[in-house]
């Protein structure tokens, strides 16, 4: 019984995820656009710099800047769908990120752009592994905003995948079962 309890305690101890300090990695994003719809213009400018990412838990950081100019679309009313694609490089690894945006122009609310969150994209870099998911954001402009340019930082979540801890727990439990089965065979 003592050996079984010891095995369970060891399995639990080794299955706990390791604590990790943040790492600072370089990043860059490419721009997208400009896109025009009636008298309005939307674009992503691209950025570069450094991000402190945690290798044990999720981090949120701004990685791009959205720019929206509101023009006078008069009495026009309509909707347009955009598929935004731009490159993100983290620690030398580049992947394309995709988001869908809906752009609506009406006479009463001149423009409304809603950009939805993206699906996660896996980045395996020399400094760590992250699933990157672009955050949702939106712009709105009323008639009094005609001629105004708005800017907004666009966020991304850098999520740490969990399979390592689960793999270790599964391996430990399998080892414990194998040991118990071997013990009963004798």
Do 156 and 53 contact (CB within 8 A), yes or no?
Answer: no
Q: What is the pLDDT of residue 67?
A: 96
- What share of the chain has pLDDT > 90, as a percent? 60
pTM, to two decimals: 0.74
Give whole-number Cα distances, 93 to 48, 87, 160, in Å.
Answer: 14, 10, 16
Residue among 175, 165, 170 nearest 3 (CA): 175
pLDDT greater at residue 162 or residue 145: 145
Q: What is the pLDDT of residue 142?
A: 78
Q: How many of the other CB atoms lie within 10 Å of CB of 96?
A: 10
Q: What is the pLDDT of residue 3?
A: 58
pLDDT digits (tens, 9 = 90+) for 75-104: 999 999 999 999 999 999 999 999 999 999
């Amino acid at each position: 019984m003592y050996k079984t309890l010891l095995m369970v305690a060891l399995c639990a101890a080794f299955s706990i995820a390791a604590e990790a300090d943040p790492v600072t990695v370089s990043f860059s994003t490419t721009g997208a656009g400009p896109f025009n719809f009636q008298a309005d213009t939307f674009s992503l400018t691209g950025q570069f710099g450094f991000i402190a990412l945690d290798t044990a838990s999720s981090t949120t950081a701004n990685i791009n800047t959205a720019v929206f100019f509101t023009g006078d679309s008069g009495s026009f009313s309509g909707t347009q769908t955009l598929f935004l694609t731009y490159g993100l490089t983290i620690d030398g690894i580049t992947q394309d990120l995709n988001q869908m945006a809906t752009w609506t122009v009406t006479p009463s609310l001149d423009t409304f752009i809603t950009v939805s969150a993206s699906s996660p994209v896996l980045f395996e870099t020399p400094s760590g592994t992250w699933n990157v998911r672009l955050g949702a954001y939106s712009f709105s402009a009323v008639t009094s905003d005609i001629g105004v340019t708005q800017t907004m930082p666009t966020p991304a979540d850098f999520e740490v995948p969990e399979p390592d801890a689960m793999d270790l727990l599964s391996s430990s439990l399998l080892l414990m079962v194998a040991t118990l089965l071997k013990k009963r065979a004798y």
